């Protein structure tokens, strides 16, 4: 009875939708096909991800990582990102997850950057951070967060964190990719190899050549 009121076209659309829905439309990395696949970072074969270590060679140590327990050395921006991605922590290979520790000197900035392969969530552990991101329509969302407060950054969008408190600050971030990647705007534009031609940057920012050379020199290029 109900079926008779639905056209063949609508039925077809429903079937196509049902077929498509189970696909991981909203996830970043693909689902694993086994319990684990500890990355063999030295493997000679290359694929979309890393090959697994032989199961016989996997040990407890592959699933634990203490790299985020230590404060990072802050860079010229006054921040230090310590990653626990697959390159540092091979146990996360194929699990679709990873984390960072981000340390901030007073006034430090984790400069505008984006992660092409993951959304990010974060929690402030110490201090006060101004956290902001920009949409593809140039809308700017931001808030000052204190210890215990969280944020999310939608996949691929440019974002930053600035220490606006009195002393140091600390945050931990998490990603739905074992290797989220980071495109850091200032270093991408002013410290790439080879260098972006000055004429591209003078036109982009509507400034003269000297200013572009000065900015490049700050990054040692």
Q: Within 13 Å and on the Cβ side, how many CA atoms surround 57?
A: 9
- Beta-strand (E) ranges in 65-168? 79-84, 98-104, 109-114, 120-126, 128-134, 140-146, 150-153, 159-163
As measured in angstroms, the least distance from the Cβ of 54 to ligand GLV is 32
Is 178 within any annotated ligand binding site? no
As measured in angstroms, the least distance from the Cβ of 6 to ligand GLV is 47
Q: How far apart are CA 184 and CA 158, in angstroms?
A: 9
| Residue ranges in 69-128 that form contacts with ligand GLV under rule CB under 6 A | 81, 100, 102, 110, 120
By C-alpha distance, which of 152, 120, 158, 122 is closest to 139? 158
Is 159 within any annotated ligand binding site? yes
| Residue ranges in 147-206 that form contacts with ligand GLV under rule CB under 6 A | 159, 161, 173
- Of 13-21, 31-39, 116-124, 139-147, the segment contacting Mn ion by CB under 5 A is 116-124
As measured in angstroms, the least distance from the Cβ of 73 to Mn ion is 19
Binding flags for ligand GLV, 13-52, as an x/- string (CB under 6 A): ----------------------------------------
Q: Are 108 and 163 in contact (CB under 8 A)?
A: yes
Q: How far apart are CA 154 and CA 121, in angstroms?
A: 9
Is 166 within any annotated ligand binding site? no
Q: Which does residue 102 bind out of Mn ion, ligand GLV, none, counting CB within 5 to 8 angstroms by kind? A: ligand GLV
Q: How far apart are CA 114 and CA 21, in angstroms?
A: 28
As measured in angstroms, the least distance from the Cβ of 113 to Mn ion is 6
Is 8 within any annotated ligand binding site? no
Q: How far apart are CA 219 and CA 186, in angstroms?
A: 9
Q: Are 92 and 85 in contact (CB under 8 A)?
A: yes
Q: Which residues sit at the interface with Mn ion, rule CB under 5 A?
A: 120
Annotated binding residues for Mn(2+): 113, 115, 120, 159
Q: Which residues sit at the interface with ligand GLV, rule CB under 6 A?
A: 81, 100, 102, 110, 120, 159, 161, 173
């Amino acid at each position: 009875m109900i079926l008779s009121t639905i056209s063949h076209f609508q039925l077809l659309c429903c079937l196509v939708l049902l077929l498509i829905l189970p696909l991981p439309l909203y996830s970043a990395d693909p689902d694993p096909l086994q319990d684990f696949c500890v990355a063999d970072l030295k493997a000679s074969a290359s694929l979309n991800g890393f090959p697994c270590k032989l199961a016989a060679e996997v040990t407890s140590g592959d699933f634990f990582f203490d790299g985020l327990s230590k404060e990072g050395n802050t860079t010229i921006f006054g921040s230090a990102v310590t990653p626990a991605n697959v390159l540092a922590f091979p146990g996360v290979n194929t699990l679709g997850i990873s984390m960072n520790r981000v340390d901030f000197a007073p006034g430090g900035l984790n400069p505008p950057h984006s992660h092409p392969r993951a959304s990010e969530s974060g929690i402030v552990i110490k201090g006060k951070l101004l956290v902001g991101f920009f949409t593809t329509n140039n809308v700017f969302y931001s808030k000052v967060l204190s210890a215990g407060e969280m944020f999310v950054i939608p996949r691929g969008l440019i974002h930053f964190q600035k220490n606006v408190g009195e002393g140091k600050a600390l945050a931990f971030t998490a990603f739905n990719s074992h290797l989220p990647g980071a495109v850091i705007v200032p270093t991408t534009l002013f410290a790439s190899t080879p260098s972006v031609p000055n004429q591209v940057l003078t036109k982009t920012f509507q400034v003269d050549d000297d200013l572009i050379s000065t900015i490049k020199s700050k990054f040692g290029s």
